[in-house]
Structure 1
Amino acid sequence: MTEVPAGELMIVRFSPFSEEKIMEKAQRDHGRLQAEGKHPIYAISTFGIVRPDYETSIDELIETICKTAPVNGKKAAVTTRRQLEDQGFRVERSEPPLHHHDVILGNELKETDVKRLAALLAAGSRRNLSWPSK
């Protein structure tokens, strides 16, 4: 399970976050940016929020994101800006919606980058307690 220190930007990607789905989503968004005449870049959509203290749980932070952003997903992959940057990724705030951040994969979509990102996300995978259980 991923540790999120107090004061650190926690990054959450809601499922699906497999290699295949990351690749598909990054390609689709790149194509959309190109069609809109914007600078195309490969990235995936995530949400980020700073953990204010150790009394605030990771699940409470995920719940805050779920209350303020149009997210869904039975599972949530938790990591931190620092862990992503240590792996060579860049995190950029991209609101709206509130708390939205992009994890930048770069100008080229490389399978090795996608594999590395998927493994990092899988290591922090947890059940999304805000997901309605029926």
Structure 2
Amino acid sequence: MSEVDDGAKAIVRLTPFEAERLLENAEDTYADEEDDGRVAPRYGISVLATVLRGPGDLDAAVARIVAGTTLNGRRMAVLTTTELTNAGFVLVQDANELEPDHHLIGEGDMQKPPRVGDLESLFKRDIRKFPRKK
């Protein structure tokens, strides 16, 4: 189960969780931002995240993320910013009109691909069934 500290965010990543596919996501993010003319494109892995309202709020925060997304899937990985930052990663907000909870995971200034093998391990610690939307 994911650990929670005050002020942390809940993070949800829908499949895929495999390192190769995470690297593809990071490279696609970089290419998209470069095509859009961003001065410093980022290697980021797409996730959804929201602020935890206090200890014991992880499941409720995950439910808020699921309710607020247009995305759908079979499985999702759940972790917190505490776990993420303890492993040396950063989470940056990357909201858009369609996905206001969208964030990117990377390392440092996000100018190189993140350690996708380590991220895969983090994601696989807490995998849950994604509730089907109607």
Helix, strand or coil at the partner of 2:132: coil
Written as runs of structure 1 = structure 2, the 5 A alignment for 1:83-98 is 83-96=83-96, 97-98=99-100
Distance 2:56 2:37 in 1: 45
Give yes or no for contact 2:9–2:81 (8 Å, CA) kept in 1: yes
Letter in structure 2 aligned against 1:86: N
**Residue 48 of structure 2 corresponds to which residue in structure 1?**
47
Runs of 4+ in structure 1 off by over 4 angstroms are 53-57
Q: CA deviation at 1:85?
A: 0.9
Q: CA deviation at 1:71?
A: 1.7
The TM-score normalised by the length of structure 2 is: 0.83
State the Cα RMSD in Å.
2.1
Give yes or no for contact 2:10–2:58 (8 Å, CA) kept in 1: no
**Residue 109 of structure 1 corresponds to which residue in structure 2?**
113
Distance 2:125 2:9 in 1: 17
Distance 2:82 2:41 in 1: 25
Equivalent pairs, count: 129
Q: Does 1:64 align with 2:68?
A: no
Written as runs of structure 1 = structure 2, the 5 A alignment for 1:1-134 is 1-5=1-5, 7-38=7-38, 39-53=40-54, 56=57, 58=59, 60-96=60-96, 97-105=99-107, 106-109=110-113, 113-128=115-130, 130-131=131-132
Q: CA deviation at 1:5?
A: 4.5
Helix, strand or coil at the partner of 1:16: coil
Q: CA deviation at 1:8?
A: 2.5
% identical aligned pairs:
26
Unaligned runs of 5+ in 1: none
1:22–1:4 distance in 2 versus 1, CA, 3 Å: same
Give yes or no for contact 1:16–1:73 (8 Å, CA) kept in 2: no
Letter in structure 2 aligned against 1:122: K
